[in-house]
Amino acid sequence: MPTIYDIAREAGVSITTVSNILNNKGRFKPETVARVLEAVERLKYRPNFAARSLAARRTNTLALSALLTPESFDPLNLQYFGAIAQAVSRSGFNFLLHISHNLESFERFASMGICDGWLLMMVRRQDERIALLKEMGVPFVSIGRPDEMEEVDVVDTDFEQTARLALEHLLALGHRRIAYLAEPLEFGYSAIRLRAYLACLKEYGLEENADLVAETDGTEAGTVRALEALWSKGRSITAIITHDIPALTVLRTLREWGLQVPEDVSVIGCSDSPLAALADPPLTTINLYVERIAEAAAGALARRLQEPEAPPAHTLIPARLVVRGSTGSAPSVG
């Protein structure tokens, strides 16, 4: 591997000059720049990451933290990974993805100073990573809202709007008895979504009714139980709002019960997971504009690095309804 000294020698300049040219600092004769660049090209020189990071006390690298949990197997996460990887690269930073199975492994990695800042995914209501990063003084952006978000940069979906999108779609189709099947409420986003749904219900003058809300524990069996709870209340539910993953189970369970989707019951998901289109029937859902979220998050982190003292920013990204085959007109009341 060639070093900066090799380049300097080849180009007939000092290593300072090479360094400055490579980092666009100072002014140089175009001819000098050309000589240096040519040498870089010819020797296939790449600055050594460790040396550069050590000297500059900056790694120019941003990391995305993902958690390894049973519920993290939504392929939507892969879309996030990809979109964030691209967004970060476009901002001129190196990107890396860290997957941790526990806080300790995250802490170990975070305290090695391998990256300048963090993007946090799968954020919990009381996320320990946030506390840790704050304590260490490492810049970060939370993708998703923790309970205490005043002091943190947050990028998230505008769930108030997604609730409205889902509800208005169903209302327009004539549905009035609309159930909500929530993912575990310990996940911040789930609680926020439920709240938004309830607020929106009220806004439209529909009764807020505990019979119409159920919570799954995240497992398939839990989803079936939640669905049974909903149905056991004996009121004629014609539509159900849930998340994409439980929706798959809902779809299958309803079919087992002899109910047709969307003829008897409409089902709407909440995040346009790649699975949604593969479902049977294809799931009507809400697309989260993953790319925009990624872009906003990468941008927010880059800004935070530039201006450490700027006030925290909260960015909510709008979503859009994707109508597929799982929603239809409400059955006419018999």
Partner DNA sequence: GCGCTTTTGTAAAGCGCTTTAGCAATCGGC
Partner DNA sequence: GCCGATTGCTAAAGCGCTTTACAAAAGCGC
Binding site residues, a copy of itself, CB under 8 A: 1, 44, 46-54, 59, 68, 72-75, 77-79, 81-82, 85-86, 89, 94-101, 105, 108-109, 111-114, 220, 245, 248-249, 251-252, 255, 274-275, 277-278, 280
Which stretches of the chain are assigned E, i.e. beta strand?
Answer: 61-67, 94-100, 117-120, 140-143, 153-157, 178-182, 213-215, 239-241, 266-268, 285-287, 314-317, 320-322
Our CB check for a copy of itself shows the closer of 63 and 163 to be: 63
- The residue from 22, 85, 229, 321 that contacts DNA (CB under 7 A) is 22
Region from 44-52, 62-70, 151-159, 249-257 binding DNA, contact rule CB under 7 A: 44-52
Q: How many CA atoms lie within 13 Å of 28's alpha carbon, on the beta-carbon side?
A: 21
Is 289 one of the binding residues for DNA (CB under 7 A)? no
CA 204, distance to chain mean position in Å, is 29
249 binds, among DNA, a copy of itself, none (CB under 5 to 8 A by kind): a copy of itself
> Least separation, in Å, of the C-beta of 59 and DNA?
11
- 53 or 216, CB closer to DNA? 53
Nearest to 294 by CA among 165, 156, 193: 156
Q: What is the largest CA-CA distance in the chain?
A: 90
The single residue among 34, 42, 56, 257 that binds DNA, judged by CB under 7 A, is 56
Query: How many chain residues touch DNA (CB under 7 A)?
Result: 32
Which of DNA, a copy of itself, none is residue 74 near (CB under 5 to 8 Å by kind)? a copy of itself
- The item of a copy of itself, DNA, none sharing an interface with residue 22, based on CB under 5 to 8 Å by kind, is DNA
44 binds DNA (CB under 7 A): no
Judged by beta carbon distances under 5 to 8 A according to partner kind, the member of DNA, a copy of itself, none in contact with residue 29 is DNA
Pick one of DNA, a copy of itself, none as the site partner of residue 16 (Cβ within 5 to 8 A by kind): DNA
Cβ-based nearer residue to a copy of itself, 164 or 243:
243
Say whether residue 16 binds DNA (CB under 7 A).
yes
Q: Which residues pair with 239 in a beta bridge?
A: 178, 266
CB of 55 to DNA, least distance (A): 3
Q: How many CB atoms lie within 10 A of CB 136?
A: 12
Residue from 282, 279, 277, 272 nearest 320 by CA:
272
**In degrees to the nearest 10, what's the CA dihedral of 184, 282, 167, 247?**
-20
Selection from DNA, a copy of itself, none that 105 binds (CB < 5 to 8 A by kind) is a copy of itself
CB of 38 to DNA, least distance (A): 14
The yes or no reply on residue 57 touching DNA (CB under 7 A) is yes
d(CA 76, CA 79): 5
Alpha carbon distance 82, 95 (integer Å)? 11
Q: Look at strands 239-241 and 94-100 and give their pairing.
A: unpaired
Tokens of 220: 């398939």
Tokens of 27: 């002014």
Residues 60/65/66/67 CA torsion (nearest 10 deg): 150
Closest contact distance (angstroms) between CB of 15 and DNA is 5
Contact 127, 116 (CB under 8 A): no
Regarding beta strands 239-241 and 178-182, do their DSSP bridges make them parallel or antiparallel, or are they unpaired? parallel
Determine the Cα angle at 160 with ends 207 and 128, to 5°.
Answer: 115
Among 32, 86, 94, 100, binds DNA (CB under 7 A): 32
Does the footprint of DNA cover residue 305 (CB under 7 A)?
no
Residues that bind DNA (CB under 7 A): 1, 3-5, 12-20, 22-23, 25-29, 31-32, 45, 47-48, 51-52, 54-58
